[in-house]
Amino acid sequence: MEPITLAERTSLAERIRGLKQAVAVSVTDEFFQRHPDWLERYGERGRQHGIDDACFHMDFLAGGIESGTFTPFEDYVRWTVRVLDARKISAHFVAENLGQIERALCPRLSGTEQLLVSSFIQAGCSACSGAPEQQAQARDEQTGLGLSQRLFLQAILKGQRKAATTIMSEALREGHPVVDIYIEVFQESLYQVGRLWESNKITVAEEHMATAITQYVVAQTYAHLPTSSTRRGNVVLTGVAGELHQLGANMVSDVLESQGYDVHFLGTNMPNSGILQEIENHRADMLGISATMLFNIPAPASRGGPR
């Protein structure tokens, strides 16, 4: 296969995303014609889920192509197989769906693009039945959430809010504690987003988008946090004046609340006078101050602030 440049991969990925809805409807209708028992079993709602799944397949196919490596797409396929296996749906249906997508996409692409898409589809089909790559497998065994974290990171970097929410929902369904999801999926993904920005591999806009999507998913996850019957005390949690990063403090607030604390989360960029007033109003037993930037660390102790 002739080498394909980053610009060409990006262009192909955008074309796939542009075609995904039409292709997803086409392949799902074909799939249900092949398997009429599925329509009887799942009905029109099942058909819509099939369209959504096909769109996810193409979103992650496009992301893998753009990245220039099979690994992200293979990870996604393994995750999909795991999710469907829990619902008693065989992996060969995933491979069949991928093959349908390949046949629907390739006639609309150039020869070089067809070869590239086919190579990714082949890698995905192999991942349906093959053993996970050793490093990924070891990581999953250590945390149980390694694969979910890698897929969540892909989703937030590509602006796929629905996919990110689905990945979180599946982790909950599998029984992972919410606090583990906060730490091992959300926190770890944001750490990696920061490292990608530091190394100039993503733009500021992409970093902000990833953070915004994570904040949205955290808000959806909050309702699943356990509640404690133990009353532990009052907490005020905030970010100092000049501190614009909020998500980390927000997550800490959620976890403390689930542990039985009555938390007043003030957001960020709070003047010291406002923090002091809220400590008094809330009769706080504990104060948490977020300062992610080094130059903001002296602020809590300055200008007569809390010590």
* Phi then psi dihedrals of residue 286, to 5 deg: -145, 140
Q: What is the CATH topology of the domain spanning 233-301?
A: Rossmann fold (3.40.50)
Q: What is residue 302's three-state secondary structure?
A: coil
Per-residue model confidence as pLDDT tens digits over 87-118: 788 899 999 999 999 999 999 998 889 999 99
pLDDT of res. 39: 81
Query: Does 63 score more than 50 pLDDT?
Result: yes
Q: Where are the domains of the chain?
A: 1-130, 142-225, 233-301
CATH architecture for residues 142-225: Orthogonal Bundle (1.10)
Report pTM.
Answer: 0.70
pLDDT of res. 302: 53
CB neighbours of 47 closer than 8 A, spacing ≥ 6? 28, 29, 32, 39
pLDDT of res. 264: 94
Stretch (H or E) spanning 50: helix 36-67
Mean pLDDT of the 269-281 span: 89
CB neighbours of 33 closer than 8 A, spacing ≥ 6? none
Which superfamily is assigned to 1-130 in CATH? Phycocyanins (1.10.490.20)
CA R_g for the chain: 23
What are the structure tokens assigned to 258, written together?
């689930």
Per-residue model confidence as pLDDT tens digits over 236-254: 999 877 777 889 899 999 9
